[in-house]
Amino acid sequence: MASDKVTACCQALIEKNLTISFVESASAGKMCYEFSTVINSGRILIGGIVCYHTSMKEDLLLIPWGTIEKYSAESAEVTKLMAQHFYRYANSDICVALTGLTTPGGSESESKPVGTIFLHIIFKEKHIAKRYEFKGNPKSIIDQAIDVVADLILKEI
């Protein structure tokens, strides 16, 4: 069941007749799923794609070769490119991209610990890029990120 924040965001999108799509890495489709559980979600949800592995980001989303090697798969730069490239195909009013570190074993470092999440949201006339550091287990980190996305969209629309 969607959180109160996601439910409120979906209701606002329905009222404003706006559509949304998602391109996800660390959240592995959970964000799209959460938005799909709200009543009348079919009026707003265009869909989403999970691009977890580097090859998916490069081959499917056309992230230029070398970009991930330079910045890492969990970076503001890659998240922005994911959003921009998927937005062209999704045909939605809003496109949300999310990457990050929910478990050890990725590109974590002292300056980018586990819990770091990158968001890039595209609206017709504006982009919002954010970096967060959440605490908790992987599910908790993703749930916190999803609520932040819902809040950001609500404030913008």
- What is d(CA 86, CA 98) in angstroms, rounded to the nearest whole number? 12
**pTM for the structure as a whole:** 0.94
Closest CA to 123 of 83, 81, 75: 83
- Averaged over 79-86, what is the pLDDT? 97
3-state secondary structure of 1: coil
3-state secondary structure of 51: coil
**What is the domain count for the chain?**
1
Whole-number mean pLDDT of the chain? 95
Looking up residue 74, the CATH number of its domain turns out to be: 3.90.950.20
3-state secondary structure of 130: strand
Q: How confident is the model at residue 105 (pLDDT cuts 50, 70, 90)?
A: confident
DSSP lists the bridge partners of residue 126 as: 123
Closest CA to 106 of 136, 72, 146: 72
Domain that holds residue 54: 4-156
